[in-house]
Amino acid sequence: MAAKPLRRVTTDEIAAFDRDGAVLVRAILPQEWVDRARAGLDSAIAAPDTLSENLGTLRVDQFPASRSPELRSIIEESPVAEIVGRALESPVRFYMDQLFYKPKGFVPATPWHQDTCYYNIAGHDLIRAWISPDPVPRNVSLEVVRGSHRWNVTYSPLAGRDPETSTRAQAMLENARLDRPMLGADAYEDWTYWSGIRDKSLPLVPDIEAHRDSYDILGWDYEPGDVLLFHGNILHAALGDVTSPNPRRAHASLWAGRDVRYLHRLGQVIPDPVALYEHEPRSGQPLSDFPEVFPVRWSPETES
Ligand SMILES: O=C(O)CCC(=O)C(=O)O
């Protein structure tokens, strides 16, 4: 049985998540899970795999829980499943996780992006739980464009921009280890972000940073024990480009509620969870068609 949170997610927090697309749920994760997150992040950071990528001084790993028992326990045994399920008011299935590591010293910003286009799933009941064992003050913490989870737009993945028109994409291609995108289970052998350039129909993320006053931007001072919840379709970024005496280690898990379905995207960037490939999923299938890969981790029907 999973561990309980320090307190219930309040009705105000549930309403804020629904309205704004993000909410910082303060002081809800017991210290034991903060400590496990720290241990799991440190061991995963020390042992990169083929799905680890250095984007300048930002290190991003895909599916780190698949190789870290501590991070796996955060998915399977911690109160995180209950916290996301209560905010979504839905049974929840774990889809995938990522690690974001910015060492002490120069802490880079994370550019504005939307996660939707990076995965082969679609739906409104998508929620991200972002936790850190480090205090993350406002000047290096996450920001969202309030309400953008309801804009009903899928933007082009940042890292997948067309190298013919984007210097950022050109630089990524030059650094890529591959000369072709790997999209199936073979992506686990070696992988970079650049397969996203395959879908040229998606609009670019607007230049939010250059026009901050035109957007309703939400941000927070984060403390260990808080859980930052944000919607899977929201535009988000992290402030940075400052010097910090502390590292910034973060674990972000993506959870799916009732309406989430498989959707094969032309410009998919991140491989599917490896166990899904043998089921040969078709677009439109609900994740509940794959209970062995995506078991329900928490449900309001079984808990009051
Ligand atoms: O931690 C960060 O800087 C970025 C996090 C992020 O983009 C995400 O969790 O989707």
CATH code at 11-279: 2.60.120.620
User: What is the tens place of the pLDDT at every residue in 23-40?
Assistant: 999 999 999 999 999 999
Would you state the pLDDT for residue 199? 73
> What is the whole-number distance in angstroms between the Cα of residue 77 and the centre of ligand 1?
23
> What is the whole-number distance in angstroms between the Cα of residue 72 and the centre of ligand 1?
19
Chain Cα centroid distance, residue 299:
21
pTM, full prediction: 0.92
Would you state the pLDDT for residue 5? 98
Q: Which residues contact ligand 1 via a Cβ below 6 A? A: 100, 110, 115, 128, 130, 236, 238, 250, 252
Q: Which residue lies with its CA nearest to atom 7 of ligand 1?
A: 237
Supply 4's token pair.
Answer: 């309980």
User: What is the tens place of the pLDDT at every residue in 239-256?
Assistant: 999 999 999 999 999 999
Domains of the chain, by residue range, sit at 11-279
> What is the whole-number distance in angstroms between the Cα of residue 63 and the centre of ligand 1?
14
Residue numbers of the chain with a pLDDT score lower than 50: 160-161
In angstroms, the Cα distances linking 91 to 45, 83, 259 are 31, 11, 10
